[in-house]
Amino acid sequence: MRAARSFALLVGAGGALGWSGLAGGQAALAPRARVDFGRDVLPVLADRCFPCHGPDANANPSGLRLDERASATTGREGRAAIVPGDPAASELVRRVRAHPDERMPPPESKLVLDAGEIELLERWIAEGAEYAPHWAFRALARPEPPAVADEAWPRDELDRFVLAELERAGLAPAAEATRAEWLRRASFDLTGLPPTPGEVRAFEAQETADAYAREVQRLLASPRYGEHMAAGWLDLARYADTYGYQNDVYREVWPWRDWVIEAFNRNMPYDEFVTWQLAGDLLADGVGAPGAPGAAREQGLATAFNRLHRQTNEGGSVDEEFRVEYVSDRVHTFGMAFLGLTLECARCHDHKFDPIAQREYYALSGYFASIDESGLYSHFTSATPTPALDLPTPEQEAKLARLDARVRELEAEIAGIETSSAAFVERFLEDPPPFDEMADEMADEQDRFPLDGDALPRLANLRAPGAVDAKAEGPVQRVPGRFGGALELTGDDPLLFPKTGHFARSDPFTLSLWVWLPERYERAVILHRSRAWTDAGSQGYQWLVEEGRWSAALIHFWPGDALCVQTTDELPRERWVHLCATYDGSSRAAGLALHVDGVRARAEVVRDALTRGIQGGDPGGLTLGERFRDRGLRGGRVDELRVFGRELGSLEVAQLFDGRALADALARPAGEPALRDYYFSAVDEAHRGARRRLAKARAERDELHDRVRQIMTMRELPAPRPVHLLQRGRYDARVEEVARGVPAVVHAAVGGPAPRDRLELARWLFQPGQPLTARVAVNRLWQQLFARALVETSENFGRQGTPPSHPALLDHLACEYAASGWDTKALLARIVLSATYRQGSRASERAREADPDGRRLSRYAPRRLSAEMLRDAALFASGLLVERVGGPSVRPYQPPGLWEEKSGLAYVQDTGEGLWRRSLYTIWKRTSPPPAMMLFDAAKRDVCVARRQATSTPLQALVIWNDPQLVEAARVLGERLAREFGGSPRAGLEEAFRALCTRAPAPEELAVLEGLLDAERASFDAEPGAARELVEVGERAPDAELPPVEVAAWTVVVQGILSHDAALVRR
């Protein structure tokens, strides 16, 4: 990489190499060949001219579009920018050569066309100024492999494309790599791990014709394959184990990572693999619902892909601002991962370079916006942001089924009692006891606060006369009430009832309160039991006034795991109103009834999806009139708060309002069918007992269910959430509603109606003619196997991306991939077995000049190991690697204090096998990612990344030499060498070299290593204490049988080999 190398070049020697890339596209231009629009002209126009004369209408005051031939050749004031065939008449040519006052690009743009580029534009105009559609948007068609002179070289059709190019440039392919070199590459590229010396020997001894193919099949069949493929997919999916913003809390998303590994290992076709991740929830009915079973659950799990973006819980953040941000992230990820487009450019304005309008950006966002989510995850609880999918273990699933059955039985039993007790009911109704004889006036009242304000700040409880815990916090005013005095609230000062209202969602309960509202509140909290609102997930229950209407809710996580009902009419104002909400403990909206002035109010269901507990986050007790960071009941008055541990019936509610309904009914019982409900609810012991058992059974089920693992997934809202064009991308600057749709420039090649939902969008990616999906996918697979992808900018196939080095080859592979049923293993096998991949890495003098960076594939360009490969290979060679697929992320060695100093969260290092798992299982905390991996260019996982850099820095050396992880690996390998090769160090050195570099050391290399071993041995001999210290590094206990001096000396030698180019680089 040009940029990567430059620092070393400047400070070190040999500067000129670093500039080889400068001439870029121009160097590739053969002197007299006809100008190619796509390859030569478009990059210049796009880069220098499109910012003001391109697709972004708002940034193009002149209206001249140089990306469209019609506009460019249309006369304006007598002159056209481009007059095909006549550069001299072309205004463009005049302007790019003009005096700075008139010159294009204008000086303030800080963009410059150099003489060569101007000449190029002139030639192009002279040759007729032919435009061509951008290569990446052209529909895919399978190019026939070209004829080549050297028929002996190609092993696969794909080699013909490469060889034809080489022959055209007068180059010959490099000599074939050795078997060991090839196997080293193939093993790393397909499994992320090197071959063992034994595997190399066995392969070298194989004489059958299909020896190579058999190795490839062996590698593809290994579970390591899926792990390795997943590691790359995690970069695209911006996978991390924490949310990312601010406090950056842990979230459990590894089950999705395991699904990816598994999908790769079973060679799931790429179209299915992508479709499940984008829209698995829409594949079958009921998928993605919390209890979805089997395959449907797996399809739902795959959609976690769309939820892996960063999320915030920072106090005071605006929910909508971040929700919009999340939707955008999904769009950007979709664009980069599947279309190779930089859609984010079109978020704030029309794309400057590619024909993608801002409107189209928002049209695409419509597919990703329609889930019941919040912009903030819970600050005070660990609730999984909705939509969430349950992932029960089989045992949990079985037990839940049993508990559910028990709940249903009890519900049936209660219905039975209501029938079988009919005779008893009749007796009761014929001669009901007078009201004042009924036990305890109203059964099951737990608390009764008159709120008269005669002992402020204390609030008396008639049900617990001595209790002193209820109190008014801060100034409240005593005012005349419905009964005696009442309290007027400030909105900022709560009334607190710490011992009251601690209900679970399985508890039936009733709350009754008189309120006097001075105004039509936009939003005001009447009462609640919860820790906080908006930025805190609002777990608990609550009564609010929202736009004048009354709502009551039980919430696990708002909005996706909650039940909420709201009155259709606004609450009366400036008079006393009686509010009473009854709840039956069913966790269903139907079980929550709102009564205003003693009468059941007309209400609509806002949410009916409560599946989890409502008591997390240390919610305290019932609170009136105020909530942390929410809007209180400013100026509102409250009187007579009553709390019942039962769902009251309609007569009782009416009684609470008028003080006589129940008494009246009991006085003239025959005509009161409502008394029947009253009887069962308040009097009948059989019924009451059954209800208690039901509540207990529900509680037991809920308790188990609350422990079932959950993961964020996609679940489409019943009615699509409308999306709007946002001015400059600002969440609160809605311009107009935009219907769902896909970018026209891509859709043109696909045709047909636009996808209606996410599932159709996923399928649209795989429609015949789709120009991008297959090209982007095979390009990334190529990138996995070579130093450079065919389209080097694998993240950008737009006009500002790098044109493909081998366009026909790219299209050929793309067509073959689709035709194979998107068989990823088959494609990888083909490429790895090709003559192109089998080339050696050494460049001939001629090739070094004509193909300095290997872009023409005149050899296999060397590649450093990735961060994961480097660590995993060291663990593997030492025998420390613990190969277990999947499971929670692990916490291997990490310098202490890194997490703590950033967000105060402790990094508790694992002991035992967590230290030695493959690197893809290392826990990824976004604000403090694994430092050694970051130093080796791992992606940060904040946003989708399609390509990693490959830098070389001094800090990398420090990791190899000093990270306990790698020191320990060197030591453990050193122990094996000392144990097995004590008497024959040469053989030991060879073994170590083979294990780490996959080849035998040359005699000179062996001599250097022997010298080093001797020197270290002598050095440790002189200071055995130092040797003992070194062999103690790491958790793996040193082999007590071995002399520390020997092990220490071997350790240093292994470290030397690990640092050697031959170990770090695939050649």
- How many other CB atoms are there within 10 angstroms of residue 157's CB atom? 16
What are residue 952's phi and psi, to 5 degrees?
A: -135, 115
Query: Distance between CA atoms of 5 and 362, rounded to whole angstroms?
Result: 40
Q: Does 534 help bind other proteins (rule: CB under 8 A)? A: yes
The rounded distance, in Å, linking the Cα atoms of 787 and 775 is: 18
106 contributes a contact to other proteins by CB under 8 A: no
One residue of 76, 520, 602, 629 binding other proteins per CB under 8 A? 629
**Residues shown for the chain:** 1067
Closer Cβ to other proteins, 682 or 1053, answer by number: 1053
**Rounded Cα distance, 822 and 780, in Å:** 14
Is there binding between residue 1017 and other proteins (CB under 8 A)? no
Would you count residue 1048 as binding other proteins (CB under 8 A)? Answer: yes
Interface with other proteins includes 94 (CB under 8 A)?
no
Query: What tokens were used for 726?
Result: 């946002």
* 298/354 with CB nearer other proteins: 354
Q: In the window 835-854, what residues touch other proteins (CB under 8 A)?
A: 841-843, 848
Can you tell me whether residue 2 is helix, strand or coil? helix
Q: Does 684 bind other proteins (CB under 8 A)?
A: no
Residues between 321 and 360 that touch other proteins (CB under 8 A): 325, 336, 342, 344-345, 352-354
Query: b/e per residue, 878-893, with b = 16+ CB within 10 A?
Result: bebbeeebbeebbbbb
Q: Which of residues 38-67 bind other proteins (CB under 8 A)?
A: 46-48
Q: Is residue 908 helix, strand or coil?
A: coil
Neighbours of 825 (CB within 10 A): 20
Nearer to other proteins, 12 or 752 (CB): 12
Which residues make Cβ contacts (< 8 Å) with residue 913, sequence separation at least 6? 882, 884, 890
Q: Interface with other proteins includes 111 (CB under 8 A)?
A: yes
Shortest distance, CB of residue 644 to other proteins, whole angstroms? 30
Cα 850 to Cα 30, 646, 853, distances in angstroms: 12, 86, 9
Binding other proteins by CB under 8 A: which of 58, 61, 77, 110?
Answer: 110
Interface with other proteins, residue 245, by CB under 8 A: yes
Residues 6 or more apart whose Cβ sits within 8 Å of residue 661: 598, 651, 654, 655
Using CA atoms in the order 836, 841, 845, 846, what is the torsion angle rounded to 10 degrees?
Answer: 10
Site residues for other proteins, window 14-43 (CB under 8 A)?
14-19, 21-22, 24
Q: Is 553 helix (H, G, I), strand (E, B) or coil?
A: strand
Q: State the nearest-atom distance from the C-beta of 208 to other proteins, in Å.
A: 30
Among 683, 873, 1030, 1042, binds other proteins (CB under 8 A): 1030
Give the separation between CA 585 and CA 700, rounded to whole angstroms.
Answer: 13
Phi, psi (degrees; rounded to nearest 5) at 495: -100, 130
Residue 284's φ and ψ, nearest 5 degrees, are -145, 160
Residue 632 binding other proteins, by CB under 8 A: yes
Q: What does each C-alpha distance from 125 to 52, 99, 373, 803 come to in angstroms?
A: 20, 21, 53, 21
Binding mask of the shown chain, residues 938 to 967, with x at each position contacting other proteins by CB under 8 A? --x-xx-----x-xxxxxxxxx-xxxx--x
Contacts of 460 (CB under 8 A, 6+ apart): 449, 450, 452, 454, 470
Q: Which is nearer to other proteins, 325 or 404 (CB)?
A: 325
CB of 232 to other proteins, least distance (A): 18
Write out the DSSP string of 78-122: TEES--TT-GGG-HHHHHHTS-TTT-SS-GGGT----HHHHHHHH
Residues 6+ apart with CB under 8 A from 963: 893, 932
Stretch that binds other proteins, among 403-411, 879-887, 929-937, 982-990 (CB under 8 A): 929-937
Tokens of 779: 């390009």
382 interacts with other proteins by CB under 8 A:
no
CB of 799 to other proteins, least distance (A): 7
| Binding-site member from 286, 912, 931, 982 for other proteins (CB under 8 A) | 931
According to CB under 8 A, which one of 142, 815, 1012, 1043 is a site residue for other proteins? 1012
Residue with smaller CB distance to other proteins, 97 or 499: 97
The count of residues interacting with other proteins (CB under 8 A) is 136
518 lines the binding site for other proteins (CB under 8 A): no
Contact between 310 and other proteins by CB under 8 A: the answer reads yes
Choose which of 98, 112, 401, 455 interacts with other proteins (CB under 8 A): 112
Instruction: Single out the residue of 446, 783, 866, 928 in contact with other proteins (rule: CB under 8 A).
Output: 928
Q: Of 196, 206, 396, 1019, which lies in the binding site for other proteins, with binding defined by CB under 8 A?
A: 1019
**Which segment (498-506, 591-599, 869-877, 1019-1027) binds other proteins by CB under 8 A?**
1019-1027
φ and ψ of 624, to 5 deg: -115, 135
User: Which token pair is 785?
Assistant: 């196997």
Residue 238: count of CB within 10 angstroms of its CB: 24
Which amino acid does the sequence have at 1016?
E
Residue from 793, 815, 907, 986 in contact with other proteins (CB under 8 A): 793
**Position 995 contacts other proteins (CB under 8 A):** no
Within residues 470-509, the interface with other proteins by CB under 8 A covers 474, 490-492
Residue 932 binds to other proteins (criterion: CB under 8 A): yes
Nearest Cα residue to 905 out of 234, 238, 246, 239 = 246
862 lies in the binding site for other proteins (CB under 8 A): yes
**What residues numbered 890-909 form the site for other proteins, per CB under 8 A?**
895, 897, 901-904
- Residue 178 touching other proteins (CB under 8 A): no
Return the SS3 of 604.
strand
878 part of the interface to other proteins, by CB under 8 A? no
Say whether residue 630 binds other proteins (CB under 8 A): yes
Report the nearest approach of other proteins to the CB of residue 67 (Å): 14
